[in-house]
A = this chain, B = another copy of it.
Amino acid sequence: MTGPVAAPRLDLAAYLPYRLSILSNTVSGAIAAIYETRYGLSVADWRLMAVLSMEPDRPLTQKALCARTRMDKVQVSRAVKRLLERGHIEREVDNGDRRSALLRLTGQGRAVYDDVAPATLEWERELLSRLTPAEAAILDTVVARLQQVADEMAAGS
């Protein structure tokens, strides 16, 4: 006779989803501290600025920012509002589609970005430099593969 079966032990410290969450929070937190303390920017704010910095000559709509950052439109709307208030970005109605506006960094926003970005990139560089080159290379591959697989599984395949 077989009764209900106890679930196998879930050892949180060995459980990948949990480990990824802790790791991501540790890393993001350390980096966020840089731009939060210097300029009072949130993670959302910073991500928009980073994306807008990439191609200064191609201003983006909020929709494009959603796609590039994987943030939802409410988060983006709020971050845009904050960045406009602080003069870090500027907006110009898109005459092709008057529901949208094209957003770009202002000179001031660019200056803030140029002040903060090196420290954040340096943090990443330092982190990776403490892995062996082989480890770093595989990390890159595996994170990409995991993301792909997780996306597939989340979509249900």
Contact = CB atoms under 8 A, between A and B. Distances in A.
Interface in A114-157: 114-118, 120-121, 123-124, 126-128, 130-131, 135, 138-139, 141-147, 149-151, 153-154
- Give the bracket for the number of chain A residues in contact with chain B: 35 or more
A15 interface: yes
A20 interface: yes
Contacts of A120: 10, 17
A8 B121 contact: yes
Interface of A: 4-13, 15-24, 26-31, 47, 50-51, 53-54, 68-70, 110-111, 113-118, 120-121, 123-124, 126-128, 130-131, 135, 138-139, 141-147, 149-151, 153-154
B53 A7 contact: yes
Interface residues of chain A: helix, strand, loop or mixed (majority): helix
A141 B128 CA distance: 14
Contacts of A6: 110, 114
A1 B65 CA distance: 36
Nearest to A130: B149
Instruction: Please provide the 4 A-B residue pairs with the shortest distance between their CB atoms, ordered closest to farther.
Output: A7-B117, A24-B24, A20-B24, A7-B114
Contacts of A154: 26, 29-30
A9 B55 CA distance: 9
Contacts of A113: 7
